Amino acid sequence: MGARVWDRFLTEQDKAHLAASTHRPCGFGERPALVLVDLYRAVFGDRPEPLLEAIKTWPQSCGPAAWAAVPHIQRLLTVAREVQIPIIHITMLSGTGVQGWSVVRGTEAPPPGEALRSRSDLGEIIPELGPLPGETVIRKASPSAFWGTPLAGHLNFHGIDTLIVCGESTSGCVRATVVDGRTNRFHMVVVEECVFDRHEAAHAMNLFDMDQKYADVLALAEVERYLRRWRAGKDGAAVAGPEKVLAGTR
């Protein structure tokens, strides 16, 4: 890739260190799945608005960055569905009496903004990015999609070794999920155009940090090429039959 979103935030020493260092990509594995993190109403609102306007009604809003990511995530979803990889939607655990991670122990959850008190869909995935019948939906009460959820067991059941991650926020739940995914020894891939945050610097530098340590941060086009090659390989193996596939591996 050429210029990266984090380049303008790096110091001269950072750049010198990168030039002198060897960076080994995580790479893709053999069995990919798509994980969509926290694409719920509370971070979008009902329509695109400047961030400082949006937070007056929607305190969790990510502003224009959220809406700008929607067509890219839709494209990624379309490809994932075409090549038939598992798709896992992650959203909030709400209405169960279990407090979320953002509520400080010993305190009560702050009431939502006045305009939101009658809304029951704050933790529901927006229709533009919603699951189709048969796609997995997992609800969580922590930044990481792994903590307290059946995600790891679900992935192991399906033999998944590669997680392609999109959603929000880059510096929060996406990062937490990526770190836990890497801890669980999955190949982690973050799709750059398909993640977003409230703060530009936090978005850029968390992408940089994940790319350096826990994941490959790749362009959507590159991930799409991988998925189509993966599908073609699967179809080719099916056509070839087991004898030809085994012969090709000797």
pLDDT tens readout for residues 120-161: 788 899 999 999 999 999 999 999 999 999 999 999 999 999
In 3D space, the residue among 170, 177, 171, 213 whose CA is nearest the CA of residue 192 turns out to be 170
* Rg (alpha carbons) of the chain, rounded to whole number: 19
Would you say residue 250 has pLDDT above 50?
no
CA 97 to CA 121: how far, in whole Å? Answer: 16
Q: How confident is the model at residue 11 (pLDDT cuts 50, 70, 90)?
A: very high
Cis peptide before 120 (omega within 30 of 0): no
How many angstroms separate the CA atoms of 172 and 5, rounded? 18
Split at pLDDT 50, 70, 90, the class of 243 is very low
- Mean pLDDT, residues 22-36 taken together: 94
pLDDT, one tens digit per residue, over 171-214 is 999 999 999 999 999 999 999 999 999 999 999 999 999 999 99
172: in domain = yes
Is the model more confident about 3 or about 63?
A: 63
Contact 26, 218 (CB under 8 A): no
d(CA 175, CA 129): 20
Show the tokens assigned to 32.
């990919």
Q: What confidence score (pLDDT) does residue 24 get? A: 86
Question: Is residue 47 in a domain?
Answer: yes
- The total number of structural domains in the chain stands at 1
Q: Which two tokens stand for residue 39?
A: 């694409």
- Tell me, yes or no, whether 193 lies in a domain: yes
AA letter at 7: D
- Is position 11 within any domain? no
Question: For tokens 């303008």, what's the residue?
Answer: 8
Look at residue 14 in the predicted model and tell me its pLDDT. 96
Structure tokens at 85: 């990889």
pLDDT of residue 249: 38
DSSP state of 129: G
Residue 4 belongs to a domain: no
Distance between CA 155 and CA 162 in Å, rounded? 9
Tell me how far apart the alpha carbons of residues 143 and 233 are, in angstroms, rounded to a whole number.
Answer: 35
Instruction: Return d(Cα 203, Cα 171) in angstroms, integer.
Output: 6
- Separation between Cα atoms, residue 109 and residue 93, nearest integer Å: 14
pLDDT at 248 (0 to 100)? 40
The pLDDT value given to residue 186? 98
Q: For the domain that residue 146 is a member of, what is the CATH number?
A: 3.40.50.850
Q: In this predicted structure, what is the pLDDT of residue 100?
A: 62
Q: Report residue 52 CA to chain centroid gap.
A: 25
Lowest mean pLDDT among 33-47, 109-123, 203-217: 109-123
Strand partners, 40: 125
Residue range of the domain that includes 219: 29-95+110-132+140-241
Mean pLDDT in residue range 64-89: 98
Residue 21 lies in a domain: no
Does 245 have pLDDT greater than 90?
no
Find the DSSP H helices in the chain: 12-20, 41-44, 51-57, 64-83, 151-157, 175-183, 200-213, 220-247
| In contact, 196 and 162? CB cutoff 8 Å | no
- How high does pLDDT run on average in the chain? 89
Identify which has the larger pLDDT, 215 or 246.
Answer: 215
In a domain, 8, yes or no: no
Dihedral over alpha carbons 131, 136, 141, 147 (to 10 degrees): -140
Residue 100 located in a structural domain: no
CA quadruple 178, 183, 189, 192: dihedral positive or negative?
A: positive
